[in-house]
Structure 1
């Protein structure tokens, strides 16, 4: 039976079929919500971003020991204070929410450093909604993405030349070609597809931009930055490679490649998208910092506190555990990804009794930094949903996402997992409007 999945362009959505999985990644069924739900999802994300931004300022002004206590890589700490072209700690990010048993949104993670799920939300959702003749909640989102990329591109160029010279160049014949390089490890299909998608969207937004793809395997540095085949150097680099891993990369001669790379960034040899300080918000215990500031009752305004109370899943540092009430909690490693090493524990006194551990099929394929610390969140009992995939109908749980373009809420997306803690087994589910 034909479905919207047959309409998806595999040259754009290159991971519809994924080796090792019986079912295709997209579900056959779709998820419908009223327009007010999508408005609330975007409103919650926009306000939470403002709240997180305030906490990021606290982090950046705090002594280095504060960052060490949050398991921030020691050699990364010096690079988290530089200003950037947009003046924001992350330029492209994604909030993830679950739905509690009453259908309320509860934010559980912020993907601030290297967010994926763009193709599903900005491209596939439109194909699916059009196929069944339903309204697409992301109808304006692709244009929003292009306008944002154009604004980001212009801000990077303006930052390179300075305001006066930039305006002079615009007035007198235009800007010189500035190579904007997009990079990932090209043999990881999802990263490659996402990187290519963003590069083409920037080109659509800025037809005169000099956009290029360079595999991370081929990325080099010299005294002037990132050299390219034609002798030029990259003006900016989009990197789909986690900063907490990049910082520890070594050259074949065991030199600290990551630190040398960031030294060049600090010397303004190129711009980075996302900037290094996105790692502050990516650090899972950052939610614990936000919640701790909320508990002080003095830091956030009443409207901010209301948003935190309503949407943010209560989150705690590892050192807070002994003071928590008995009950069930999610335990997460600070640098875990794709559900790896997530556990549900029951607190009884000072003991954490394992109730359930997230099992990940492709454990060895998930590349992430070893965590020295963990954090805790209240265990949210979730609302059940039913969806149809290639293998039949399944019952499970939803993760709702909202992309942030700078500080503006944009496309929404949905994943469906038969397990309460979503990981690599989750399916993409298109969203439509009731």
Structure 2
């Protein structure tokens, strides 16, 4: 009991001194006062594998921009986005993306990419280093914050002289707001909450001072939500915003190509091409897909026939919402209580068990399922870290910082 009180006190003292961070979420502990140590080989492997996986996704985007609308609609893309997702507005497919990896044997499996609106940014690029310092260990993400700053600056400097740059998020969501303010901190720009943006159809998007916006940085606002957005009079302002982007009157970051990759059905396309041993991928790339990707389909038949456990998840969805896990007989084992994304086309992916880790928390010593979040900045490996929680990683999972285990030599 004494050690538990000690944990609580130390955690409060440490995180209580960090401004603009959500150490607790939804009234529950989120950021743990604990650290998981990895050796240098593990760190190097995560970085190398992340870049290989990322290169497969980004290469696939170029193919998807050329396929017929029917294919994209079958994959679950909303019909309103057909022109939008074919746009290529930046040299890169996604400025900031996050891979979700599960340790598997002596390697890792990718369960998805969050290419459009990944969160977990401030935790890994900034907070993780502070925790490492507190625990007296080296930070495996050392130097990544500067790379993030450069990536964000480069993205808003592309192709426009002295642009008016606005960062936006839901003002009342602390995680979204503070993530965006963190990204904005080194960019000559302003923050305008989503509800204060003003749109004039066919003319432009304006900030709360009435100044026309050239570049909108919408790190946490998903396109699949945007297309349903209406104002108080019922005007489809989300679709108007997409029109501005398609007409070249507004640049958004992450770019449209990031939304193209956000769809989890992209992994079914990748796996299908791999099964055919299609020449679109090189021999080396086929080896990577076999090693780092999981069988993924738009139907569950393969898993039922083979007697393989599988996961059913929406093509668009976040934080484990609407995810279901089935056993080898096709019987439901686990389902997330949230069902917000049931309207989207489902994808079916082979189920891989998350490894279990032990960690300290306000509730005592706990066991949890581990998931690695590994960031790519313009396709290059960047910060990574851990979430621990239940079998389905959701928004109640913990943030477990990572440190570098120094080899004795």
TM-score when normalising by structure 2: 0.91
**1:124-147 deviation line (CA, Å, top 9, x unaligned):** 100000111101000010111112
Pairing 1:20-419 to 2, within 5 Å after superposition = 20-21=27-28, 24-84=29-89, 86-100=90-104, 102=105, 104-155=107-158, 159-160=159-160, 176=162, 178-200=163-185, 202-203=186-187, 209=188, 211-222=189-200, 223-239=202-218, 240-298=220-278, 299-318=280-299, 321=302, 324-348=305-329, 352-359=330-337, 363=338, 369-417=341-389, 419=390
Give the whole-Å Cα distance in 2 for the aligned partners of 1:263 and 1:324. 45
Structure 1 residue 324, shift from structure 2 partner: 4.7
Give the whole-Å Cα distance in 1 for the aligned partners of 2:300 and 2:66. 22
SS in structure 2 of the partner of residue 80 of structure 1: helix
**1:23-79 deviation line (CA, Å, top 9, x unaligned):** x21122211111111111111111111111121111110000001101110111121
Deviates more, 1:280-289 or 1:230-239: 230-239
Tell me which residue corresponds to 2:13.
Answer: 6
Match of 1:429 among 383, 387, 400: 400
Structure 1 residue 369, shift from structure 2 partner: 4.5
Query: Is contact 2:198–2:208 with CA below 8 Å preserved after alignment?
Result: no
**1:179-204 deviation line (CA, Å, top 9, x unaligned):** 2101111001110111111111x33x
TM-score when normalising by structure 1: 0.86
SS in structure 2 of the partner of residue 306 of structure 1: helix
Give ranges in structure 1 of 5+ residues lacking alignment. Answer: 161-174, 204-208
**1:279-330 deviation line (CA, Å, top 9, x unaligned):** 2211111111111111111221121112111111221122754775122111
Query: Is contact 2:99–2:374 with CA below 8 Å preserved after alignment?
Result: yes
Let me know the Cα RMSD of the aligned residues. Answer: 1.9
